Amino acid sequence: MDALEYERFADIYSIWTATAGSTHTNLPFYVQAYLAAEGSVVELGVGDGRIAVEAAVRGRHVVGVDLSPAMLALCQARAAEAGVANRLTLLQGDFRSFVLPEPAALIALPYHSIGHLTSLDAKRDALRHIHTQLRPGGRFIFDDFLMTPGRLDEMRRVQLRAEYDTPDGHHALLWVTSLIDAHAQTMRVVTWEDLLDDDGVMMRRRYRPLSLSWMSPAQAAALLADTGFKAEGCLGAFDGTPFLAATAEEQIWIARKDSAT
C-alpha cells in the first residue's frame, strides 16, 4: 500500500467517487449494515467519510481508519459540516496494524479498498489482523472487483471521467485509463487532470497513478478460511442479490469470527 499515491488523490477524491458507478449502490448497503450492527462499527479506508458520515447522521458512532492524513482531514471536515463530528473517531493506520479502542462488532472495508494491498500475502496479513480486532461473533464485510474480460477491456480504455470547475475557478477535465497485468491480477490506474484557460487551452496537466489489485471469488473464499473467518455469504450486487458467476456485478463478502475465539 503506497500512502503517497492515495494522498495525492485527496483533492479529487470526491469527484472520483461521485463518478464511479458502485458508489451510488454501495452507500445504502454499508450504511444499513452499520445501523444494524449490535456494537461498535469500524470502517477501514474511511477516505473522506462518504459512508461513515452518512451513518453518523443517522445516529451511528463509527470508528474510521485510514492511512492518509489528507483523507482523514477531509473526513473530519465532512463530519463537522454535517454536525456529527462527535460521532466519529478517526485513527491513522494501516489495515495490517491498526489498533482499536475496543474489539468491534463490525469491521467493513468498502469500495474495493482491499485492492490497495497488491499481493495475496499482504491481504492475508490484513485479514489476520482484522480478525484479532473483532470481538467473538463479530462480522467482517468487504467488497472486491469482480473482473471479467469485458470489464478489463473497459478499464484499459482512455475515458473522460469528469468535467468540472476547480475551487480556483479553472475548468478541468479528468481522464483515466488502466495498465493491467491480468496474470498478476494487478493494475496501475492512471488519472490525469487537464486544467484549461478561458479559451479551452490546456494550462497544466497533472498525473495521479494508483496501484490496485483484485482477487477471484475462489481466492477470496480461500483467504477468509485461511485467516480464521467463516464466510456467511457472498453477494453479487449491493441490492442483496446472491452471487452467481454469470450475472454478478460485484463480489461482496460477509464473514464472521467464530464466537468461541
| Domains of the chain in sequence order | 3-146+216-257 (3.40.50.150), 149-213 (2.20.25)
Classified as helix, coil or strand, 59 is coil
Phi-psi group of 8: left, alpha or beta (phi > 0 → left; psi -120 to 50 → alpha; rest → beta) = alpha
Radius of gyration of the chain (CA): 18
Q: Which grid coordinates are listed for 72?
A: 482523514
Task: Print the SS3 string covering 132-185.
Answer: HCEEEEEEEEEEECCCCHHHHHHHHCCEEEEEEECCCCCEEEEEEEEEEECCCC
**pLDDT score of 259:** 86
Classified as helix, coil or strand, 257 is strand
Contact predicate 51/42, CB 8 Å: no
Give the residues across from 91 on adjacent strands. Answer: 65
**pLDDT score of 175:** 98
What is the C-alpha separation between 140 and 41, in angstroms, rounded? Answer: 10
**pLDDT score of 21:** 82
Q: Spell out the per-residue pLDDT of the chain, length 261, in tens.
A: 677 888 889 999 999 999 988 888 999 999 999 999 999 999 999 999 999 999 999 999 999 999 999 999 999 999 999 999 999 999 999 999 999 999 999 999 999 999 999 999 999 999 999 999 999 999 999 999 999 999 999 999 999 999 999 988 899 999 999 999 999 999 999 999 999 999 999 999 999 999 999 999 999 999 999 999 999 999 999 999 999 999 999 999 999 999 876
What is the C-alpha separation between 143 and 178, in angstroms, rounded? Answer: 20
Rounded to 5 degrees, φ, ψ at 4 are -65, -40
Contact predicate 187/178, CB 8 Å: yes
Q: pTM of the full predicted structure?
A: 0.96
**pLDDT score of 238:** 97
